[in-house]
Amino acid sequence: MSWYVITHYSCVVTNLRTEYCPDLIGIHCIIHQSVLCAKLSGDFQELMTDAMKLINKLKANSSLKHRQLRNFLDQHNAEFCDLLTHNNVRWLSKGNALKRLWDLRKDLVMFLNEKGQTSTLLEGTNLCNLAFLADCFTHLNTLNLKLQGKGHTIIQLWSAVKSFKQQLLLFVSDITKDMLHFPCLKVTIQEVSCDNDWSCFVEFLQNLDTEFCNRFKEFYEISSVIELISHPLSADVNGTWKTQLSTEYALLVSKMQVELCNLKGDEICIADPNVFWLSLVTLERYPVITRLARRILTCFASMYLCESLFSSMNFVKNKHRTRLTNAHLHELMRISVSDRKPRFDAIVRSKPTHHFSH
């Protein structure tokens, strides 16, 4: 079995390494790893818990209070008419819930005052911390949206993660100066008096950077190989990609170096790696490096397709379809995930009779 990169499940990868390919490299889903990097701890976890308690208190615990809150927000022409709840399963909900809570901070303070209540979360240092988390998770949500979608290769997803890693270094320097990338925090500091010691914010960003390094360690182990496939014309013939190849390709490094030199000599224009390796470069002339490129480009770097498939199944197989058989479910799932559009006109014309009553 050839060297290949697959989405990581420990038991599957272990069995494949044991039975077929000792040099198999397994990688985790990039989207799941980015979500795990954003896990909170310490004071920020307590702040997140308090924020969810406040949201549940105003929205989920009492339907009467929820109606009163919505009416209050509507009467005062608030920017939004309701709060958002947080669900750990929904990756974007944490950032969206925090941002909505910060956007409605002034209206919520007035509503609580009307009820004779207060919340320490919406004042002083806690409000600054809330604004900081809202800004951070807005950036994380932006990354998460880039990683989702069909047709993305490992090159594109890894490029997005590396770009975000560079942004984290920018955020560390920016938060102690102009705060251009932290608009919520900047506005909050102008509104309330809070401590100007941003060491906890810098530490949070640095820890986030460390988490990305640790959780994406397996991608760094093949980063030079990915760089070779994405930018072959500028790759170093004697680069570090040689040491990151498995045993199978390590034996063919000399041939691959010759093919890389010939490839540079051809001066083929590379705009899209998919088009370059599948259309412009022929397997007959560059057999070794082309096989490596195709294995990298066909790697499943995320579980997005599987997650979207489960979402479609939950929509199709609901409580109102109790008589759905496995065969029907299979057919409906094939239709729901297919990109092909039915030719309804041809289907209608093929039928001898039509039931217009329906």
What is the chain's pLDDT, residue by residue, as a tens digit (358 residues)? 344 444 445 567 777 777 776 666 677 788 888 888 888 888 888 988 888 888 888 887 888 888 888 888 888 888 888 888 877 767 788 888 899 999 988 888 898 888 888 888 888 888 898 999 999 999 999 998 888 888 788 888 888 999 999 999 999 988 888 889 999 998 988 888 776 678 888 999 999 999 998 888 888 888 888 888 888 877 788 877 777 776 667 677 778 878 788 777 776 666 678 777 777 777 778 788 888 887 788 777 777 777 788 788 888 888 888 788 888 888 888 887 777 777 878 877 777 766 665 5
Task: Please give the pLDDT value at position 354.
Answer: 61
Task: Please give the pLDDT value at position 22.
Answer: 66
Show which of 167, 187, 219 is a domain's final residue: 219
Whole-angstrom Cα distance, residue 94 to residue 242?
42
Same-domain pairing of 241 and 177: no
Is residue 166 a part of any domain in this protein? Answer: yes
Owning domain of residue 159: 33-219
Whole-angstrom Cα distance, residue 26 to residue 7?
6
- Judged on CB neighbours under 10 Å (0-12, 13-18, 19+), 168 is middle
H/E element, 2? none
Is residue 15 a part of any domain in this protein? Answer: no
Same-domain pairing of 271 and 338: no
Same-domain pairing of 159 and 107: yes
Q: How many CA atoms lie within 13 A of 11 on its CB side?
A: 0
Show which of 168, 190, 219 is a domain's final residue: 219
Same-domain pairing of 138 and 276: no
Same-domain pairing of 69 and 184: yes
- Catalogue the long-range contacts made by 333-339 (C-beta closer than 8 Å, 24 or more residues apart): 333/309, 336/312, 337/308, 337/309, 337/312
pTM across the whole model:
0.78
Number of domains, the chain = 3
Same-domain pairing of 80 and 196: yes
Is residue 79 a part of any domain in this protein? Answer: yes
Is residue 297 a part of any domain in this protein? Answer: yes
